[in-house]
Structure 1
Amino acid sequence: MQPRDLSDHVAYEAGRGIEEVARELGRDPSEFVKLASNENPHGPSPAASVAIREHASSMSSYPKAAHADLVEAIADRWGVNDEQIWLANGGDGAIDYLHRATLEPDDDVLVPTPGFAYYGMSARFHHGGVHEYALERTDDFAQTAETVLERYDGERVIWLTSPHNPSGSTMPLEEIERLAEETDEETLIVVDEAYGEFAERDSAIALLEGRDGYDARDDVAVLRTFSKAYGLAGVRLGYAVVPDEWASAYTRVNTPFAASELACRAGLAAIDDTEHVDRTVETARTSRAEIRDRIDAHVWPSEGNFVLVDVDDASSVAEKLQDRGVIVRDCTSFGLPGCIRITCGTDEETDRAIGAVNAVLADLEVDTHTEAEVPDT
């Protein structure tokens, strides 16, 4: 017996961890700094850490009040009804829920390239087809309604990422509104705002609720996560904010108790830890400015907690940076073999990364010139 045909599916390629790289190179993990996975350099919200310790003994219980309390807190944060919050096991769990609620067999989704691979992976798991629209490197990965509409062909779901991973570009709300207006009534526009806290833009939740001069829409949903600004990537907690009309679908697509007891407790504590979030956002903004100003290569403007750097040969640069103890993301898996992505770290981590990148680029330039000067024999 064999599993179903998975030949069209691809495996998700995550950023490499310190232990993995240290083991491969036969070195001490303490020699490395990891700036490959867009994690929080200040760690988890301290309030969340306290909550996890205090409630560790309750792990034998299914989530109950913690789930309801967290949903209420998130809804209050965004000024929406509790029923509009679809809590999930990470942002990827919310992606699955939205596909379960929308896709019939042979429905299609439209996803950005480069972009988060799991949009397409999840659609295929739910027997959907995947089409792509391109965010062009030569256009600084600009996100406009026109870019998407040029490729739109009646897909059931359109995925937007704002800020976009790996470039850091964003899509203005008026462009998202135009896209919603010019697509079919049965097309859902999903705005993935996993990095939203780091951007100086309003959330697309304004479009759901008809705020700030926008008409309320029933064809836009928004994804958010506790993984980045709150530093809770390890407990897997995310959510979707959906239109009122979608509220009743949650109980039919939700995996029972998908968000764990400890994740819910951590999220409930973290959501009020504004000091930690403010510190994290300020660190990211300072770091990305430093990288743009000081790295000897083109760095794209970013509104995420990371930057994309043009280095010509990503795999070679990433490998040489590992030798220097700095782990970054080789963006070849995103279809950008000439780019690396660097997570915004602390001042010390950022300074170390900048020095290492500049040294590697200088060495490669010397090597290239040396090879060019060797006469043919």
Structure 2
Amino acid sequence: MHTRDLSDHATYEAGRGIEEVARKLGRDPGEFVTLSSNENPHGPSPAAVEAIRETAGEVNDYPKAAHADLREAIGDRRGVDPRQVWLANGGDGAIDYLSRAFLEPGDDVLVPDPGFAYYGMSSRFHHGDVREYALSKGEGFAQDAETVLGTYDGERIVYLTSPHNPSGSTIPLPEVETIAERTGEETLIVVDEAYGEFADRESALALIEGREDVAVLRTFSKAYGLAGLRLGYALVPAAWADAYARVNTPFAASEVACRAGLAALDDTEHVARSVESAAAARAAFEERVEAPVWESEGNFVLIEVGDATAVTETLQKRGVIVRDCSSFGLPECIRITCGTDEETDRAIEELNAVLAERSAEAER
């Protein structure tokens, strides 16, 4: 017995964690700082932690009320009907729901290159195919309508990422609207705003009220610090909001996740601290790293270092774990998550030292 043919399916490569690297190098995990997965360096919302403790004794119940309460709270916060909030097991779960709702076998999706591998993975899981539009490193990974429309050929779903991972670039709202206007009636524009809290940009949510072809993805993983709970959602037009009941996994968001999400939504202090900290770290990387750093509006920066694999491995030995962007098709770049002040300072100092050593070796 065999699975269906999965040979054309990509695999998602996550950033390496402290335990994995420490085991590999035979070192104490306490020696390392991990800045490879765009996690919140300030931890989860304290209000969410308290909610998790209070909910722990109730996990024998399915999250019926909590699920409804969280959809209502998000709807109120985002200015949409709760039915337009599709809760999911992380942002990738919301991507799957949209794939289930829109893709027929053989449909194509259009995704950015480089970009988040799961867009294409979800399409292939649902018997769709994948086409790519290129974001140019030489143009700072700039995102605009012409870049997307120059490749567009009637795909069923077009994915935009704002801020874009791994570069941190964003796409202005008028450009999103132009793409929606100039694509076919049966094309859905999905704007992934997983890092939206960190960006000084108007959300594409502004387009949903007047259109039926734009959806927005959001997550609790980044600014709210709840990556381990796997909680995300899609915001969709009212015209097809009821499709959620036909495509979602029953109780996809757990009782603990829903209650933590409810508490985190109200913890504006934690979000503000996380956003301000990321902005300060981005500025520090741009000003102090002795290598090209792309301007970013996420909680991470992309840096050109020459041989990303070699630099990543050397940094690991020095106790700093970063993301080798070879898996994004950028073998000359690394991505570093914005850490605390101390973590960011350490990353900059160690990176500059590694770059200086490599430069000296090249000159010998």
Instruction: State the distance in 2 between where 1:240 and 1:85 align.
Output: 6
Instruction: State the distance in 1 between where 2:208 and 2:263 align.
Output: 26
SS at 2:158 equivalent: strand
Report the counterpart of residue 146 of structure 1 in structure 2. 146
SS at 1:202 equivalent: coil
Q: How far off is 1:81 after superposition?
A: 0.4
Letter in 2 for 1:110: L
Letter in 2 for 1:72: E
Q: How far off is 1:272 after superposition?
A: 0.4
Report the counterpart of residue 206 of structure 1 in structure 2. 206
Report the counterpart of residue 100 of structure 1 in structure 2. 100
Q: Does 1:283 align with 2:280?
A: no
Q: How far off is 1:193 after superposition?
A: 0.1
Q: Give 1:247-286 correspondences, 5 Å limit.
A: 247-286=241-280
- Matched length: 364
Task: Check the 8 A contact 2:64/2:251 in 1, yes or no.
Answer: no
Please list the CA deviations of residues 72-108 of structure 1 after superposition, one character each: whole Å capped at 9, or x if unmatched.
0000011000110000000000000000000001010
Q: Does 1:49 align with 2:43?
A: no
Report the counterpart of residue 368 of structure 1 in structure 2. 362
Instruction: State the distance in 1 between where 2:289 and 2:72 align.
Output: 44
Letter in 2 for 1:302: S
Task: Check the 8 A contact 2:39/2:337 in 1, yes or no.
Answer: yes
RMSD (Å) for aligned C-alpha atoms: 0.4
Report the counterpart of residue 89 of structure 1 in structure 2. 89
Q: Does 1:357 align with 2:354?
A: no
Q: Give 1:184-263 correspondences, 5 Å limit.
A: 184-209=184-209, 216-263=210-257
Selected match of 1:296 from 290, 293, 297: 290
Selected match of 1:346 from 315, 325, 340: 340
Instruction: State the distance in 1 between where 2:87 and 2:240 align.
Output: 14
Please list the CA deviations of residues 263-294 of structure 1 after superposition, one character each: whole Å capped at 9, or x if unmatched.
00100000000000000000000000000000
Report the counterpart of residue 121 of structure 2 in structure 1. 121
Q: Give 1:58-73 correspondences, 5 Å limit.
A: 58-73=58-73
Letter in 1 for 2:58: S
Task: Check the 8 A contact 2:111/2:120 in 1, yes or no.
Answer: yes
Q: How far off is 1:315 after superposition?
A: 0.2
SS at 1:271 equivalent: helix
Letter in 1 for 2:355: L
Q: Does 1:308 align with 2:302?
A: yes
Instruction: State the distance in 1 between where 2:268 and 2:240 align.
Output: 30
SS at 2:242 equivalent: helix
Q: Give 1:311-322 correspondences, 5 Å limit.
A: 311-322=305-316
Structure 1 unaligned residues grouped into runs of 5+: 210-215, 371-377
SS at 2:67 equivalent: helix
Report the counterpart of residue 40 of structure 1 in structure 2. 40
Instruction: State the distance in 1 between where 2:363 and 2:270 align.
Output: 47
Letter in 1 for 2:244: Y
Report the counterpart of residue 173 of structure 1 in structure 2. 173
Letter in 1 for 2:327: S
Instruction: State the distance in 1 between where 2:39 and 2:5 align.
Output: 34
Q: How far off is 1:3 after superposition?
A: 0.3
Q: How far off is 1:38 after superposition?
A: 0.2
- List, as ranges, runs of 4+ consecutive aligned residues in structure 1 with deviation greater than 3 Å: none
Q: How far off is 1:10 after superposition?
A: 1.4
Instruction: State the distance in 2 between where 1:248 and 1:22 align.
Output: 47
Please list the CA deviations of residues 349-376 of structure 1 after superposition, one character each: whole Å capped at 9, or x if unmatched.
0000000000000000011111xxxxxx
Q: How far off is 1:304 after superposition?
A: 0.1
SS at 2:277 equivalent: helix
Instruction: State the distance in 2 between where 1:348 and 1:110 align.
Output: 40
Report the counterpart of residue 79 of structure 2 in structure 1. 79
Instruction: State the distance in 1 between where 2:316 and 2:220 align.
Output: 28
Q: How far off is 1:247 after superposition?
A: 1.0
Letter in 2 for 1:71: R
Q: How far off is 1:11 after superposition?
A: 1.1
Instruction: State the distance in 1 between where 2:64 and 2:58 align.
Output: 11
Q: How far off is 1:64 after superposition?
A: 1.4
Instruction: State the distance in 1 between where 2:254 and 2:313 align.
Output: 37
Q: How far off is 1:65 after superposition?
A: 1.1
TM-score, scaled to structure 1: 0.96
Letter in 2 for 1:279: R
Letter in 2 for 1:346: T
SS at 2:349 equivalent: helix
Letter in 2 for 1:308: L
TM-score, scaled to structure 2: 1.00
Task: Check the 8 A contact 2:62/2:254 in 1, yes or no.
Answer: yes
